[in-house]
């Protein structure tokens, strides 16, 4: 039994090291996700209440809990190991919530992007700030219009021009007469482009949270086993 408990203790230390790395990874992922989202003016409204901040906080907490768990195992302290298991279980629940939030956020951002872009297009020629933000959005997402480039048919009297920010190679008046010229401009609308952006930068955050939660469940199992051993008075050192 002593040998088994020593093995559990070793695995507990190993998983705490993994938790430490997971915490660090979540902090980095949260910062990157937050930065990526807030680069896009049209989805900053959602980003301000979305998962990235929670991810950063959870990462920091995991980072500290891992150290706390190691101390409890090293000292065979039942109270510390129990606290570790309880806190880690709470973190797992939070991470599952983050994954669900990431999925829900997907549809919300897509709808919001289309509506915001349509509103910005109406004020494009009269509001310099709106013009700048929409140009940045189209450059960043490599898109043109809300649904497609044809949304800009009202832009010029010839009904065949788009803003220069729609161009693949931006230059002065590059969008003139290029409404449907796929060789010169991006014809995909910003809603579809936002969907691609989310798929690459948001959904994988939710998947990462679920994977990390699965790893942490193993840590909870080892923690509970170690708690049992300490409580029964086995020599685990």
Closest to 57 measured CA to CA, from 16, 106, 108, 97: 97
pTM over 0.75: no
- State pLDDT tens for residues 62-89: 777 877 777 777 777 778 778 888 888 8
Task: Give pLDDT tens digits for 134-175.
Answer: 898 899 889 999 889 999 999 999 999 999 999 999 999 999
Whether pLDDT at 237 is above 50:
no
Q: What fold does the segment set 113-236 form as a domain? A: Cd81 Antigen, Extracellular Domain; Chain: A (1.10.1450)
Across the chain, which distance is largest between two alpha carbons, in Å? Answer: 86
Residue 148 phi, psi dihedral angles, 5° rounding: -160, 180
For 165-220, what is each residue's pLDDT tens digit? 999 999 999 999 999 899 999 999 988 887 777 777 666 666 766 777 777 787 78
Higher per-residue confidence, 236 vs 142: 142
Instruction: Classify residue 169 by burial, with Cβ atoms within 10 Å: 0-12, 13-18, 19+.
Output: exposed
Average pLDDT over residues 34-53: 57
Phi, psi of 167 (to 5 degrees): -75, 145
Look-up: residue for tokens 């798929």? 199
Domain ranges of the chain: 113-236
């Amino acid at each position: 039994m002593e040998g088994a408990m020593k093995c559990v203790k070793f695995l507990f230390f190993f998983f705490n090291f993994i938790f430490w790395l997971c915490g660090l990874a979540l902090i980095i992922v949260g910062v990157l996700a937050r930065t990526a989202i807030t680069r896009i003016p049209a989805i900053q409204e959602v980003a301000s209440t979305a998962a990235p901040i929670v991810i950063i906080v959870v990462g920091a907490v995991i980072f500290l809990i891992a150290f706390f768990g190691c101390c409890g195992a090293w000292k065979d302290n039942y109270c510390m190991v129990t606290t570790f298991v309880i806190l880690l279980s709470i973190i797992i629940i939070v991470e599952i919530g983050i994954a669900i939030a990431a999925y829900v956020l997907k549809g919300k951002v897509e709808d919001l992007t289309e509506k915001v872009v349509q509103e910005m297009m109406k004020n494009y020629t009269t509001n310099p700030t709106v013009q700048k933000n929409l140009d940045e959005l189209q450059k960043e997402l490599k898109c043109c219009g809300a649904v497609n480039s044809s949304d800009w048919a009202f832009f010029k009297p010839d009904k065949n021009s788009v803003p220069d920010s729609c161009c693949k190679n931006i230059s002065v008046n590059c969008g003139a007469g290029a409404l449907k010229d796929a060789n010169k401009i991006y014809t995909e609308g910003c809603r579809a482009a936002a969907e691609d952006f989310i798929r690459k930068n948001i959904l994988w955050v939710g998947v990462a949270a679920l994977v990390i939660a699965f790893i942490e469940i193993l840590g909870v199992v080892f923690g509970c086993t170690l708690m049992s051993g300490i409580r029964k008075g086995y020599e685990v050192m």
